[in-house]
C-alpha cells in the first residue's frame, strides 16, 4: 500500500457522501461509486472521480470503503458481477463501514483473505452530523496490523478504536444501537410524561441537561421531539434492521435482552402501523403518543416526503 492510499468509496448516500467529503478534504484521492449515479456525481465538485461500476472504482484503489444499507448489498457489491473485490489489487484492504450482522462480516473477511485481500469491519455512530463534522465513533474489528496500517484513513472521519477480531466492530455497533434505541424510548417517555402533566417539555429538557440524564440522545433527539422534526437523520427502517440483528446476536450468544425486545416491537409498530418507515428514529415518540392520546408540544409534525 502506498504511503497515502488511494480510496474507492462505495455508497455515497446520507452517511457516505459526507464521509467521502471528509476524506477528500484531507487530501486523499477518492473514486466514488453509488448505485444511483447522481449521488456519486455530487462529489465531483469536491474533487472525487466518479466510477461507472464498483469494480472500476476498486481497480484504481489501495483501499475500498463500503457504506451500504445491509449485509446482502455489501456482499453483492464486493463479490457479485462487477464486484469490487476481484478488481482490488493484491494486499488491498476492504473497510466495511456499513452496519451488518457480525457473522456476515466474518464471512466476508474469510472470502477476502482467500483472495489475498484484507478486511476491516468498521461501523460508525454519530449520524449525518458526525459524518459531516468528522466526529464519528468508529468501531473496528479485524487484525491489529491491518488497523494500524490504515489508521490515517479513519482520522478525517472520526475516532477509531479497535475492539477485537473480525466481526467485533459489528458487535460493538449492535451494543451502540441497543443503547441508542432504549435511550430514545426513555427520552420519549420522559418528555411525554412532562408534557402530559402540564410542564413545558422543552424547558424540562433544558432543566435536566447536565445532570445524570444528559446524553447525546437527550441533546439531539430530545430537541427533535420538542420541535417535532422527524425528517431523517437515521430512518426507522434501518433502526429496526439493526435491532433485529442485535436480537439475533443475543440469541446466538445465549443472552436475553427484554428492554431491547420491547423497544424493537415499538419501532416495528411505528414502521408498519403508523407508516413511519422513513421517519427519523426519534419519531418513536409518535408511537408512544398514539398509545396515550397525549402529545408533546403543539406544533405541526415535520415528516419526510
Residues 164-212 have pLDDT tens digits of 999 999 999 999 999 999 999 999 999 999 999 999 999 999 999 999 9
Nearest to 45 by CA among 87, 3, 12: 12
* Dihedral Cα 265, 268, 272, 273, nearest 10 deg: 40
Condensed to tens digits (0 to 9), the pLDDT of residues 233-258 reads 889 999 999 999 999 999 999 999 99
Average pLDDT, the chain: 96
Residue 198 grid coordinates: 402540564
Strand-pairing partners, residue 125, are 137
Shared domain check, 119 and 21: yes
Q: How far is 106 from 58, CA to CA, in rounded Å?
A: 21
Residue 285 grid coordinates: 415518540
Domain carrying residue 180: 171-292
DSSP-assigned letters across all residues of 14-53: TTHHHHHHHHHHTT--EEEE-SSHHHHHTTGGGT-EE-SS
Shared domain check, 155 and 31: yes
Shared domain check, 37 and 14: yes
The pLDDT of residue 127 is 87
Query: Average pLDDT in the 102-115 region?
Result: 97
SS3 label, residue 120: strand
Shared domain check, 176 and 71: no
With beta carbons less than 8 A apart as the criterion, state whether 84 and 94 touch.
yes
The set of catalytic residues is 173
For 150-259, strand residue ranges (E) read: 158-164
The pLDDT of residue 305 is 83
Q: How far is CA 196 from CA 33, 190, 281, 298, in A?
A: 48, 10, 22, 12
Shared domain check, 149 and 21: yes
Number of separate domains in the chain: 2
With beta carbons less than 8 A apart as the criterion, state whether 244 and 144 touch.
no
- pLDDT grade for 1, boundaries at 50, 70 and 90: low
Chain position carrying cell 469536491? 46
CATH assignment at residue 203 = 1.10.1040.10
Has residue 248 been placed in a domain? yes
CATH assignment at residue 16 = 3.40.50.720
> Full-prediction pTM beyond 0.85?
yes
Residue where a domain terminates, one of 143, 164, 185? 164
Has residue 150 been placed in a domain? yes
- DSSP 8-state symbol, 301: P
Amino acid at each position: 500500500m502506498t504511503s497515502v492510499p488511494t480510496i474507492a468509496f462505495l455508497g455515497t448516500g446520507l452517511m457516505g457522501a459526507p464521509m467521502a467529503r471528509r476524506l477528500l478534504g484531507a487530501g486523499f484521492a477518492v473514486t466514488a461509486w453509488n448505485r444511483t449515479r447522481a449521488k456519486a456525481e455530487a462529489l465531483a465538485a469536491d474533487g472525487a472521480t466518479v466510477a461507472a461500476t464498483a469494480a472500476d472504482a476498486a481497480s484504481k484503489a489501495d483501499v475500498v470503503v463500503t457504506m451500504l444499507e445491509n449485509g446482502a448489498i455489501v456482499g453483492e457489491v464486493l463479490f457479485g458481477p462487477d464486484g469490487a473485490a476481484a478488481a482490488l489489487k493484491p494486499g488491498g484492504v476492504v473497510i466495511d463501514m456499513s452496519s451488518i450482522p457480525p457473522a456476515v462480516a466474518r464471512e466476508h473477511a474469510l472470502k477476502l483473505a482467500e483472495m489475498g485481500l484484507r478486511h476491516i469491519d468498521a461501523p460508525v455512530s454519530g449520524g449525518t452530523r458526525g459524518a459531516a463534522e468528522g466526529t464519528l465513533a468508529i468501531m473496528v474489528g479485524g487484525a491489529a496490523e491491518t488497523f494500524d496500517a490504515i489508521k490515517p484513513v479513519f482520522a478525517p472521519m472520526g475516532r477509531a478504536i479497535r475492539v477485537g477480531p473480525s466481526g467485533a466492530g459489528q458487535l460493538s455497533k449492535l451494543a451502540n444501537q441497543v443503547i441508542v434505541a432504549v435511550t430514545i424510548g426513555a427520552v420519549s417517555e420522559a418528555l411525554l410524561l412532562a408534557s402530559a402533566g402540564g410542564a413545558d417539555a422543552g424547558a424540562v429538557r433544558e432543566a435536566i441537561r447536565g445532570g445524570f440524564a444528559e446524553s447525546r440522545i437527550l441533546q439531539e433527539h430530545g430537541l427533535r421531539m420538542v420541535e417535532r422534526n422527524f425528517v431523517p437523520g437515521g430512518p426507522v427502517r434501518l433502526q429496526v434492521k439493526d435491532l433485529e440483528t442485535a436480537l439475533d446476536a443475543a440469541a446466538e450468544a445465549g443472552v436475553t435482552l427484554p428492554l431491547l425486545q420491547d423497544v424493537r416491537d415499538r419501532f416495528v409498530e411505528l414502521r408498519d402501523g403508523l407508516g413511519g418507515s422513513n421517519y427519523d428514529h426519534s419519531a418513536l415518540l409518535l408511537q408512544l403518543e398514539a398509545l396515550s392520546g397525549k402529545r408533546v408540544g403543539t406544533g405541526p409534525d415535520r415528516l419526510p416526503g
